[in-house]
Amino acid sequence: MKIEVVSTEKAPKAIGPYSQAIKIQNMVYTSGQIPVDPSSGEVVDGGIENQTRQVLENLKAVLAEAGTGFENVVKTTVYIKDMNDFASVNKIYGQYFKEPYPARSCVEVARLPKDVLVEIEAVAIIP
């Protein structure tokens, strides 16, 4: 079984010893994406909605590089710093994912890299 690293300049570079995503056969497993603007390398301003939007744009870029998109995502995991932001995250998330929605877990965490408010990872099928 061949393992292939997925990497794109359209999403932030990894800030540790990991890949943006890994492809195995017709599946892609992304690393968690955080709200870093890939052109500046800086965390985006504007609160949870802007951060969620940037996370999903970064995730979109990684999925595209792997040859897939949001319509083929089967599972996501959402990490948020404050569960009070759940509705705001859902509002933006629903603009990117359509029915049938992927399975999802959402977890409140004490802290995320670069002190961001949200991080999302995904598993998708490559058609």
Residues 6+ away with beta carbon under 8 Å from 101:
none
Residues 6+ away with beta carbon under 8 Å from 108:
79, 80, 81, 82, 83
Q: What is the pTM of this model?
A: 0.96
- The full set of domain ranges for the chain reads 3-125
pLDDT at 70: 98
Q: Cβ distance 76 to 89 under 8 Å?
A: no
The C-alpha angle 6, 73, 44, rounded to 5 degrees, equals 65
Averaged over 41-63, what is the pLDDT?
97
pLDDT at 1: 86
d(CA 29, CA 57): 16
pLDDT at 15: 84
Averaged over 71-83, what is the pLDDT?
98
- Residue 80 pLDDT class (50, 70, 90 cuts): very high
Say how many residues make up the chain: 127
- Best CATH choice for the domain 3-125 from the list 3.40.50.150, 2.40.50.100, 3.30.1330.40, 3.40.50.11720: 3.30.1330.40
Q: Is 102 a catalytic residue?
A: no
Options 22, 27, 64, 106, the catalytic residue: 106
Question: What does the mean pLDDT of the chain come to?
Answer: 97
